[in-house]
Amino acid sequence: MQTLKSQQVAIIGGQRIPFCRANTNYSRSSNHEMMAESLSALVKRFDLKNQTLGDVSLGAVIKHSRDFNLAREAVLSSGLAAETPAFDIQRACGTSLSAALLIASKIATGLIDVGIAGGTDSISDLPIVYPDAYRSILLESARGRSLAQRIKPWLRLRPKHFKPSLPAVVESRTGLSMGESMEITAQQWGIGRTDQDTLALTSHANAERAWRDGFYDDLVTSHAGVSKDNNVRPDTNLEKLAGLKPVFNRSAGGTLTAGNSTPLTDGSSAVLLSSESWARERSLPIQAYLTFGREAAVDFVTKEGLLMAPAYAVSDLLNDARLALQDFDYYEIHEAFAAQTLATLAAWESEAFCAEQLHRDEPLGSIDREKLNVNGGSVAIGHPFAATGTRLLATLGKQLSRDGGRGLISVCTAGGMGVTAIVEAA
């Protein structure tokens, strides 16, 4: 996707529920319940009850088979008119930002006037899959036409058939988890433990300050008795972070810990996007404009780090917008791991990488770290896979509505992909 400026795409605002560490407060909440909660809050905030919108795009990375039509079901539970269409999308951690770019494209080209993008994920409510042999017994029995045909398959049932297989965040092409892959990238880029812990500490400090100052008061709606992200650690410090053991590479060279990595998280988020005219007709203030978007992928099997695609996507994005990396007032870079954010920043500063991989005459350069994830990053707030993109978009939209300026969003994803966007104040 290139420019979205054929018709301005307005960010009206976003809503989410608090993000909670897996297997804590949302252990009994499903993807549908969490997504419907964020949508309902958005409907209430912007007086959309019984209104028909142009389209809604939502997604989840980890889904039960019952969630095959998750977006549509969530819309039907949200208070929007039943005539509002919806469709599911999945691009790993970039799911909801990709959904936003799709809805924005429809608005920009005049296909629709208004739409919602969002995402949800639950690690607590994992789909449990049983062995194929057990499934074969069930299906063969179901196909039986006589009582004998339905009973006979069950004679093959053994205790081993009841051993479940839980979903794992592992790349099938490499057999490595995301954390294991990131440890390799951290070594390649010389990203040390202290730098990772320092970024993690800043993430928590910024998130706590934002909550304390009321920044999230109108962005977050309570769910299941929770009113605040429960992973934020205001009392953490470098000494505590340094005391944690590496979890992906347990040797002396390991640097990624539970403290400088994003925790497994449950939650949901959504953002309302529209044309300028739709917003003006309803006297809804426009927070900002979604002006450019880019997605990219890398060959993470043989050539590049699994989570390095945003380094490429941002370079292309800047070319599209004719901007420099320093032409931004805020940077929302998803902290899948502190090391990922730092490796991306290092790549942009590298003369060799920018010349050989990005085909640039000079490095993109460094950014002002004081402008990075100023309201907290994913290490502190958490990361329900499909919900993070629209969390970032809603956060940045509100920040720009208060302070003006321009912001950059960057999200790495499983499968060696990246999703990026530019947002400009109204």
Listing DSSP states for 241-279 in one string gives HHTSPBSS--STT---BSSSBPPBEEEEEEEEEEEHHHH
In which residue are the tokens 């069950």 written?
A: 154
How far apart (Å, rounded) are the C-alpha atoms in residues 262 and 273?
A: 28
In contact, 383 and 412? CB cutoff 8 Å: no
Taking alpha carbons only, the member of 1, 122, 13 closest to residue 70 is 122
Question: Which pLDDT score, from 0 to 100, does residue 375 have?
Answer: 98
The amino acid at 305: G
Q: What is the DSSP string of 53-110?
A: PSEEEEE-SS--GGGTTHHHHHHHTTTS-TT---EE--BTBTHHHHHHHHHHHHHHTT
Question: Which pLDDT score, from 0 to 100, does residue 1 have?
Answer: 41
Question: Which pLDDT score, from 0 to 100, does residue 2 have?
Answer: 43
How far apart (Å, rounded) are the C-alpha atoms in residues 230 and 19?
A: 7
How far apart (Å, rounded) are the C-alpha atoms in residues 293 and 182?
A: 25
Question: Which pLDDT score, from 0 to 100, does residue 169 have?
Answer: 76
How far apart (Å, rounded) are the C-alpha atoms in residues 9 and 12?
A: 9
Question: Which pLDDT score, from 0 to 100, does residue 6 have?
Answer: 76
How far apart (Å, rounded) are the C-alpha atoms in residues 15 and 48?
A: 13
How far apart (Å, rounded) are the C-alpha atoms in residues 127 and 167?
A: 7
**What is the chain's Cα-based Rg?**
22
In contact, 247 and 256? CB cutoff 8 Å: yes
Q: What is the per-residue pLDDT across 178-219, written as a single tens digit (0 to 9) for each?
A: 999 999 999 999 999 999 999 999 999 999 999 999 999 999
Based on the residue annotation, tell me whether 354 is a catalytic residue of this protein: no
Tell me which residues of the chain have a pLDDT lower than 50: 1-5
Q: Report the first-to-last Cα separation within the chain, whole angstroms.
A: 22
How far apart (Å, rounded) are the C-alpha atoms in residues 396 and 410?
A: 12
Based on the residue annotation, tell me whether 93 is a catalytic residue of this protein: yes
Pick the catalytic residue: 32, 204, 334, 412?
412
In which residue are the tokens 């297997």 written?
A: 23
In which residue are the tokens 């605002």 written?
A: 13
Pick the catalytic residue: 32, 93, 204, 334?
93
Q: What's the DSSP call for residue 224? A: T
Pick the catalytic residue: 204, 223, 334, 383?
383
In contact, 414 and 93? CB cutoff 8 Å: yes
Question: Which pLDDT score, from 0 to 100, does residue 293 have?
Answer: 98
Question: Which pLDDT score, from 0 to 100, does residue 177 have?
Answer: 94
Q: Which helix (DSSP H) or strand (DSSP E) does residue 407 occupy?
A: strand 406-413
CATH topology for the 178-216+292-421 domain: Peroxisomal Thiolase; Chain A, domain 1 (3.40.47)
Based on the residue annotation, tell me whether 161 is a catalytic residue of this protein: no
How far apart (Å, rounded) are the C-alpha atoms in residues 385 and 353?
A: 28
Domain ranges of the chain: 132-162, 178-216+292-421
Residue 363, CA atoms < 13 Å, CB-side half-sphere: 13
